[in-house]
Amino acid sequence: MREFIFKANKTITSSNINLKDLPGSCGRLDLVCRCVSDSLFLSHDIRRDVIFYSILYGPPNPPIAIKFVGNELKKVSPDERNIAIFIKKAIKKFEELSEEEKKYWNESTPGIYVRRIDFKDLVLEKINEGKNIYYLHKNGKDVYEVKIKNPVFILGDHIGLTKEDEEFLEDKAIKISLSPLELHANHCIVIIHNILDRLEYGI
């Protein structure tokens, strides 16, 4: 199983999503949608061994975490607008829950869940599940020098993780680098998939 956690610092936490302006009024929701697409979709198929989390920290009601489970998804397509529609549905579902219900994963549509949990607590949950945490950063150890096993990959948006986040991850994650250059988060996901696919197929 491959898992990704993407921290979206400015992405809207209201179901009042303008589908015609994902980058602007929605706090770069377009980036979230691209990461969802590149983590889960193949040509004419879905990666069923992937779980993707995005934790939204924009106004007015952060944080909200949305989980996409590859082997459960139905009727989701890879384009940004379609994914944004499903995110809108997830946040709408969240808004209808009681404060107690928000503490747990609630399914909004098949394979998509929503919950109130912050970045640090989600990482700690993954560690308690026995996962290995890999923080993708250009100044990390070269990915080809790291044996990746049972992974959860941490990615930041165009703003990146905060200093506090990085200090939190210091003794919990292996920092790995895919390139000496700053890459888009969704491009990092594609590269990671390619590396792991080649290993899996013995290439």
Does 122 appear as a known binding residue? no
Does 27 appear as a known binding residue? no
CA 109 to chain centre: 17
Does 40 appear as a known binding residue? no
Beta bridge pairs of residue 2: 50
Does 70 appear as a known binding residue? no
Does 180 appear as a known binding residue? yes
Does 178 appear as a known binding residue? yes
Nearest-10 crossing angle of helices 80-95, 29-40 = 110
Does 26 appear as a known binding residue? no
Phi, psi angles (nearest 5°) of residue 18: -90, 105
* Contact status, residue 88 vs residue 15, Cβ threshold 8 Å: yes
Does 29 appear as a known binding residue? no
Nearest-10 crossing angle of helices 29-40, 185-200 = 10
Provide the sign of the torsion angle of the four alpha carbons 108, 112, 113, 117, taken in this order: negative
Give the tokens for residue 192.
Answer: 């990671």
Does 156 appear as a known binding residue? yes
Side chain identity at residue 179, one-letter code? S
Angstrom distance (rounded) from CA 162 to CA 165: 5
Residue positions forming the annotated binding site for S-adenosyl-L-methionine:
136, 156, 178-183, 188
